[in-house]
Structure 1
């Protein structure tokens, strides 16, 4: 094919392939036909979702396990609004996502002509939930916008980017073949020497240092472990940072800053090193942590240094490089960790002792899961009470192994994100934890899972025939429960209709057996666990 015959849509797909994109999630429509013209022969796999929200959630799950941007192709107007919830979730949790959509012909934009899928200003609809949202007004805009998107993913706080491409731009012939114009990708650097020296001095003099690490620290695992060991500093994580220390590491305080024992322990710190975390109340389940410490913050986002938790030292830079430079400034000798290890052990026991009746049921289920979960598996979770307990009570063996919609807190995330994660890490078995309410938001994506997956994905549906958390919140506030006891379908029949292997265990022992079989089965297994069977 002569380069002059390439359309904007074809060249864009080739350019994405040259940036390393191997998978896109989406649903073809009359407004994206020119994108799909470019897919054959590109080396990019297209995954047909059953709703655009599913496409954005799948792109999110793909990004969380792989560390690469998740990509989706969506149509003008309703495709964008359908995907917006998943885009918002990725924005809240700092997940790299590239959303390519069509938009109406350039001449019609903002005119209100009543064109198919028309909105007043599509770019403005996603601007608040993206690092940037832009419209390509010519084919020559496309390589520049893609380069800008990857600059966000590689050098800034990673967040979604939305690029709208008008129908005439998608179909126009390119003036030259720019599909190989992959620009030099910018990289993050370490914090300044002055900030590193100051932080190292404070940490050396700390009596009770502690560490809090989030999703921005996922690539700094070894440096975090070494700093924690040298300083005898207990290491807490946010939900996004689960797995940064091995479960049996004696200084691993886990993601327990959402319960009273965790709050009590961090209140004893005189210095807290916070790495790659926005320190949000969605992780802490309270408005403010009881910090009595000097706060040192390592972050790629300079806006975090003087927000809700102003810091004594701002270390603006990449977590891995900054912590490596910090290690060089700390004495190599390890401090006596006996008191810190004892404090962490007491914390772990206090967390178990603090379980209420419902959390004890969850703990029993989670223990059965842990007994059968393959070491390299990931868990994708929805907004459901079982996952809320798992956020702090379940031990992840490695980073990128517990996917939870923390910041935006949207229902319907668990299943499509788990499917997307399977494409991001095909060799890893997957488990989805979802409640009956959230499952019905995106249950149609079982069709995608059954059609596309040939390795183990187990969906554990926790069915309490209620919107349990909202019901409990209503009762706690002395509000008469309304709208929280829905009539559910026959979930087993629904799963079979989609082509899943289905089981309905009647006890925790049967659950464990069904999980074991599910992780050995290539394909999708739906396990419906009723609340009454978990006692």
Structure 2
């Protein structure tokens, strides 16, 4: 029925899907369940494709990978109770790494009593639980409110720091038909520009600096061109955080890569007379230690005002979109009398200084990392420049690929940083591949981390698209094993019996090979990029 005001009777499930489609959603990840079938009924009619991982945690990581690679919010659909709890780890990771992830789920009926009744999937408060993991959890109270809740979520994604959001639709509203109008749309915000006086102060501090430094975090990916121009104009070496990897070309002579955790890079920061940190928390998960001393002026550019007084308070605060902040600084430098001074002894001297810091940083960890380096070089040699790499919270990734596998734009490297979850790499790679089927995507993991979500090999096989999965196998949880040994403890519950991961991949419908040398790894990777389905490539790692 359609009213004179343009409202028509529509179920909550259709209202939800219509609102998602109106905001440009065209792919969702999730698993059907008894309580969410009314959502699934309408997806195809509204042009939303669906991919079904084998576990809700995998759905969350896939939506996260999709969001990081495309810049669009990732959509995940769960049912009530245990399904929603299954995705919680992925939501926590998205919150930690500032990823726009929208989780939609049914909830208990509108008038469900507060006392437990034994209804299927019943729990005291889904919205209360997810309110602690997200920017907000919105439990709607009518069909008409569903569109507003979705618009609120997309407004949150488009303004300020991205965070995950949860929308709960009571299960009786999903099937109830109520009058509702066209879904409201989240406004397209204007770019957030920094205050002119702060831009002038930042430009002056950087322009007179003899030892300028740039630190780029995940929030700097939208300002890659500006960051490159600024670094070259200042002659400033550039370090990135784990989430910032790929925001600055790591083949550039001014790049220090992902080495904020090394004493050499922390000393470089302390010795710099002006440090510009863009889109980063300067967090312990990037530094692997307490925040270093900053000897000079600290300029922070971030969309999140809270970062201006968190961890290392800003001397000059540029609360703005990263691109607008860097454009403002570049304009300010052009207006300085005589133009900006180049850091140290000009471009050549700055590149030499960066090379010296890189060499010192590498020497400090050379013995630990030496065995992985030939394999990482083999990976790099086999991959096209635009490849997206996803990684796990594994030794081969944070000791290996993050600092030692260079990535240049338009390539990307997606890593679960702050929350430090395991099992991210494979489903995140699936999310990227589902969004961009023609783009090369490679997952990097350890044998322990892969087994958290190894069932998603079936999902990857179902896609029928090439997806190499490189697994450094050290027979268990290598990092925890090493930490136990360092404490003088007898290792407990960290050693896994041998497992033929290649055979497991074949059982799921993929391929599996063992690479016992760097040359074999490079050849296996090149082949895996051409054959349909996932290819698990195991690499032996010393224990």
TM-score normalised to the size of structure 1? 0.96
Q: Does structure 1 residue 269 correspond to structure 2 residue 272?
A: yes
| Structure 2: distance between partners of 1:496 and 1:469 | 28
Structure 1 equivalent of residue 196 of structure 2: 193
Q: CA deviation at 1:450?
A: 0.4
Contact kept, 8 Å, 2:11 with 2:175, in 1: the verdict is yes
Change (3 A) 1:6 1:271: same
Q: CA deviation at 1:97?
A: 0.4
Which is worse superposed, 351-360 or 70-79? 351-360
Structure 1 equivalent of residue 354 of structure 2: 344
Alignment of 1:113-128 (within 5 A): 113-128=117-132
Alpha-carbon RMSD across the aligned residues, in angstroms, is 1.7
After superposition, give the CA deviation of every residue in 1:340-360 in whole Å (9 maximum; x if it has no partner): 211101122223333344411
Structure 2 equivalent of residue 145 of structure 1: 149
Q: CA deviation at 1:520?
A: 2.0
Contact kept, 8 Å, 2:153 with 2:165, in 1: the verdict is yes
Structure 2 equivalent of residue 405 of structure 1: 416
| Structure 2: distance between partners of 1:399 and 1:267 | 31
SS in 1 for 2:180: coil
Structure 2 equivalent of residue 154 of structure 1: 158
After superposition, give the CA deviation of every residue in 1:430-476 in whole Å (9 maximum; x if it has no partner): 1111111111110011111100242x210011111121111111111
Structure 1 equivalent of residue 74 of structure 2: 70
Match of 1:530 among 518, 531, 540: 540
Change (3 A) 1:435 1:137: same
Q: Does structure 1 residue 384 correspond to structure 2 residue 383?
A: no
Q: Does structure 1 residue 422 correspond to structure 2 residue 426?
A: no
Match of 2:312 among 309, 313, 330: 309
| Structure 1: distance between partners of 2:411 and 2:419 | 18
| Structure 2: distance between partners of 1:457 and 1:256 | 28
Aligned length: 531
Q: Does structure 1 residue 20 correspond to structure 2 residue 24?
A: yes
SS in 2 for 1:433: strand
Structure 1 segments (4+ residues) deviating >6 Å = none
| Structure 1: distance between partners of 2:191 and 2:418 | 24
Q: Does structure 1 residue 477 correspond to structure 2 residue 480?
A: no
Contact kept, 8 Å, 1:251 with 1:341, in 2: the verdict is yes
| Structure 1: distance between partners of 2:165 and 2:489 | 41
Which is worse superposed, 521-530 or 159-168? 521-530
Contact kept, 8 Å, 1:63 with 1:424, in 2: the verdict is no
Q: Does structure 1 residue 297 correspond to structure 2 residue 307?
A: no
SS in 1 for 2:143: coil
| Structure 2: distance between partners of 1:102 and 1:434 | 33
Change (3 A) 1:400 1:119: farther
Which is worse superposed, 327-336 or 63-72? 327-336
| Structure 2: distance between partners of 1:104 and 1:62 | 29
Contact kept, 8 Å, 1:381 with 1:387, in 2: the verdict is yes
Question: Structure 1: 5+ residue runs without aligned partners?
Answer: none
Change (3 A) 1:54 1:109: farther
Q: CA deviation at 1:482?
A: 0.8
| Structure 1: distance between partners of 2:44 and 2:129 | 31
Change (3 A) 1:101 1:109: farther
Q: CA deviation at 1:111?
A: 3.3
Structure 2 equivalent of residue 175 of structure 1: 179
Alignment of 1:504-523 (within 5 A): 504-523=514-533
Match of 2:42 among 38, 59, 66: 38
After superposition, give the CA deviation of every residue in 1:5-64 in whole Å (9 maximum; x if it has no partner): 431111211221121111100000011011011112211110011111011111100011
| Structure 1: distance between partners of 2:428 and 2:245 | 17
| Structure 2: distance between partners of 1:204 and 1:333 | 4
| Structure 1: distance between partners of 2:493 and 2:368 | 21
SS in 2 for 1:49: coil
